[in-house]
Amino acid sequence: MIEVRNLHKTFGSGAKKVIAVDGVSFVARDGEITGLLGPNGAGKTTTLRCLYTLMRPDSGQVLVDGVDAAADPLAVRRNLGVLPDARGLYKRLTARENIAYFGRLHGLDEATIRARSDAAIRALEMEDIAERRTEGFSQGQRVKTAIARALVHDPKNVILDEPTNGLDVMATRAMRAFLKQLKGEGRCVLFSSHIMQEVAALCDRIVVIARGRVVADESPDALRAQTGEANLEDAFVRLIGSDEGLAA
Amino acid sequence: MKSALIVFLKEVRENLRDKRTVVNTLVTGPLMGPLLFVLLINTLVSRELEKAEAPLKLPVIGAEHAPNLIEALRQQRIEIQPGPADAERAVRDQDADVVLRIPPRYAESWNQGEPAQVELVFDESQRDAQSAVRRLQGALEGYAQRTGALRLLARGLSPAVMKPVVIAERDQSTPQSRSGQMFGILPYFFILGALIGGMALAIDTTAGERERQSLEPLLANPVPRSQILAGKLATTTAFSMTTVLLSMVAFGIASRFLPTDKLGMDLHLGLDFVLRGLFVMLPLAALLAGLQTMVAAFAKSYREAQTWLGLLTFVPAIPTMLLTVLPFKPQTWMYAVPLMGQQVALTRFLRGETVNSDALVLCFVCTTLAALLVYFVTSRIYRSERLAISA
Ligand SMILES: Nc1ncnc2c1ncn2[C@@H]1O[C@H](COP(=O)(O)OP(=O)(O)OP(=O)(O)O)[C@@H](O)[C@H]1O
Ligand SMILES: [Mg+2]
């Protein structure tokens, strides 16, 4: 479970000051998929970066399975699987070696790494590329490898920053199925997106954020009811107050 | 510690698969120094030897005014040639190293027992010409002294009255110390080797990792950043020490092809040198790796990091130049200064001198402390948010 309480984060100072996150609070529960929905520049990536302790929030609290991220960042990272916005691989290592590296950094033994890699490679249907060096991998192959290595330690909580970014229709469908599978395994899945349909199709809960603030935190149905719009996309536009940044 | 080791092993494996890094570490770094040096020494030595042995060709203006002098010069294996019309111009245009001009009044002055003047036209700044000038001066002075002694004898005086003080030169330099002087720039090549060997690694593990977007996922692992940094620094240090070791071996082999015996020089580049050299170079390699990583971590891109690190390679040239240009006596405090300590110690090792172990330990400890300091500063930079985010 991931709890975010009144998170604030600004960049720069003076005239160049940017308020990226301005009092964000929400809860992502186990066995649910929570979608962080917002237009470009809304503060999704920054919020997630505070969650996996890459950034320190100016104020506010992050709890992962009850552990305070500010107090024990290592424990928090141990309980998180992260697919960040940046998902570069080591191109001179094979996909399997990339996965194993992260497994070792998580303190897993070689047998466990082997078993988990095999399972992930099967689940993500990447048998054909597993032993290849990742140099020249397609976008989809890169994302698969990055996900496999992010989940090698079997984390209870999974954070993904725009996981379907750059994927074709088939890969996107596979990704959605995979997220559902993670949910079925009882994990807490939190992902960001700016694509309405995607969030609608997947999420148990939608946290809409715009200009660094949470403007709605509901189930898809409740969201429709709250805004009085039958169509989710219209609901979204009404919530963020403009239709800027709404790429489908 | 375990995480640092994991990072180290992964970096080594990954970088050994990178042709450019491997070529830098195993070939370019170690070989560039020795090659440059062999070329330099070979041309220097063979040119010197050529000049000393071959007859000196000397253009003379007014040879007919001093037949005896000319004859004496011929006996010194100086080949007299007709002089150019304009001596100054010939020297300026480097058509001649030196021109001897004998004025018409020479015979007259000679006969009257007055100092008879001859003129040497040369260009002091022309290094090539120096040995020719010195040889001619020697021959002329010898002739003058012999003639002077004869004149004194003719007047019934002992030539000894002209020499109230006699200088007997007792040169204390040994063949080793002369080679140490000449080879005083050798330590720079080893230090340069360390920098070249570590350069690609320092960039790859910081600016490079950020540029290919793999730093953020890496930092999402439950490992303190200081450990990740330690693993990366260990890799950089290992590669740069490999370069240093190989360049020592390369120098050892190259020195066999140097005509050092002809110069009466003795270079100590054996196993003993390698062992002691590696001992003083190890903490320096760690220090330089830390500096390179620090600089590369500040750089916004791979290219920028390359530029900065290129400039950094010139820093160790400073103590080298100071120590070769300024006359100095190795003093204990010098061992305490990183870079300078290695410079002094390596120079003395090359001369085959013993350096007492206190000085070596001082050198090792002080450089290690400096390396630790740089490590702490770099790990502070490594903790900053700015470092991880590629934008
Ligand atoms: N490292 C940084 N330095 C300065 N400003 C930043 C930094 N990171 C984010 N910002 C600013 O903070 C705001 C929120 O950015 P963020 O990346 O969190 O948005 P996002 O919701 O992820 O957008 P997108 O959908 O485009 O990925 C933006 O205005 C951005 O310019
Ligand atoms: Mg983003």
CATH number where A48 lies? 3.40.50.300
Judge contact between B135 and B115, C-beta under 8 A.
no
Residues in chain A: 248
Question: For residue B22, what pLDDT is reported?
Answer: 87
Does A20 lie in the same domain as A117? Answer: no
Judge contact between B292 and B199, C-beta under 8 A.
yes
Mean pLDDT (chain B) is 84
Cβ-based neighbours of A207, under 8 Å, separated by 6 or more: A26, A34, A35, A36, A37, A214, A216, A217
Does A115 lie in the same domain as A11? Answer: no
Number of domains observed in the structure of chain A: 2
Higher local confidence (pLDDT), B366 or B143: B366
Of A63-67, B178-182, B250-254, B301-305, the one with minimum mean pLDDT is B178-182
What's the maximum distance between 2 C-alpha atoms anywhere in chain B? 101
Beta-carbon count within 10 A of A6 CB = 13
Final residue in a domain of this structure, among A126, A154, A182:
A154
Does A161 lie in the same domain as A70? Answer: yes
**Percentage, residues of chain B above pLDDT 90:** 23
| pLDDT averaged per 10 residues in sequence order, chain A, 248 residues | 95 88 95 93 94 94 95 95 93 96 96 95 91 93 94 95 88 89 95 86 91 89 73 71 50
Does A172 lie in the same domain as A69? Answer: yes
Does A242 lie in the same domain as A173? Answer: yes
The percent helix, strand, coil of chain B (3-state, each to 5) is 70, 5, 25
Does A105 lie in the same domain as A39? Answer: no
Does A120 lie in the same domain as A9? Answer: no
**CA B213 and chain centroid, separation:** 41
Q: B47-69 b/e with 16+ CB inside 10 Å = b?
A: eeeebeeeebebbbbbbebbeeb
pLDDT digit string, tens, across residues B183-211: 677 788 888 888 888 888 899 888 888 88
The span from the CA of A158 to the CA of A33, in Å, is 10
DSSP for residue A218: E
Q: A7-35 b/e with 16+ CB inside 10 Å = b?
A: bbbeeeeeeeeeebbbebebbbeeebbbb
**Percentage, residues of chain B above pLDDT 70:** 90
The span from the CA of A159 to the CA of A103, in Å, is 17
Tokens read off for B168: 């007997």
Q: Which ligand is nearest to the CA of B389?
A: 1
Q: Which of B6, B213, B221 to mutate to test the interface with A (most CBs of A within 10 A)?
A: B221
Let me know the angle formed at the C-alpha of B8 by B6 and B9, rounded to the nearest 5 degrees: 65
The span from the CA of B242 to the CA of B220, in Å, is 32
Measure Cα distances from A15 to A19, A42, A182, A212 in Å.
12, 19, 44, 18
Phi/psi at A190 (5° precision): -125, 120
All residues with CB under 5 Å from ion ligand 2: A 45
Every domain of chain B with CATH number 3.40.1710.10 lies at 55-170
Structural domain span for residue A172: 2-79+156-246
Cβ-based neighbours of B381, under 8 Å, separated by 6 or more: B294, B297, B298, B387
Question: For residue B30, what pLDDT is reported?
Answer: 83
Does A115 lie in the same domain as A56? Answer: no
Q: Which residues of B touch A84 (CB under 8 A)?
A: 216-217, 220
Instruction: Enter the ipTM.
Output: 0.92
Cβ-based neighbours of A243, under 8 Å, separated by 6 or more: A237
Does A179 lie in the same domain as A74? Answer: yes
pLDDT digit string, tens, across residues B349-383: 887 788 888 899 999 999 999 999 999 999 998 88
Q: Which residues of A touch B217 (CB under 8 A)?
A: 82-84, 86-88, 102, 146, 149-150
pLDDT band at B29 (very low <50, low <70, confident <90, very high): confident
Question: For residue A245, what pLDDT is reported?
Answer: 47
pLDDT at B291 over 60: yes
Question: For residue A247, what pLDDT is reported?
Answer: 40
Beta-carbon count within 10 A of B165 CB = 4
What element of type H or E holds B111? helix B106-111
Question: For residue A58, what pLDDT is reported?
Answer: 94
DSSP helix/strand/coil, A80: strand
Does A150 lie in the same domain as A103? Answer: yes
Q: Residue type at B190?
A: F
Beta-carbon count within 10 A of B292 CB = 30
Does A66 lie in the same domain as A32? Answer: yes
DSSP helix/strand/coil, B166: coil
Which of ligand 1's atoms lies nearest the C-alpha of A209? 21
Judge contact between B167 and B11, C-beta under 8 A.
no
Does A110 lie in the same domain as A63? Answer: no
Q: Which of A101, A109, A149, A151 to mutate to test the interface with B (most CBs of B within 10 A)?
A: A101
Final residue in a domain of this structure, among A102, A134, A154:
A154
How close B216 comes to chain A (CA, Å)?
6
Assign domain B55-170 to a CATH class: alpha beta
pLDDT digit string, tens, across residues B79-97: 888 888 888 888 888 888 8
Q: Which residues of A touch B7 (CB under 8 A)?
A: 105
pLDDT at B166 over 90: no
Question: For residue A4, what pLDDT is reported?
Answer: 96
The span from the CA of B84 to the CA of B102, in Å, is 13
Question: For residue A246, what pLDDT is reported?
Answer: 45
Tokens read off for B62: 């007014």
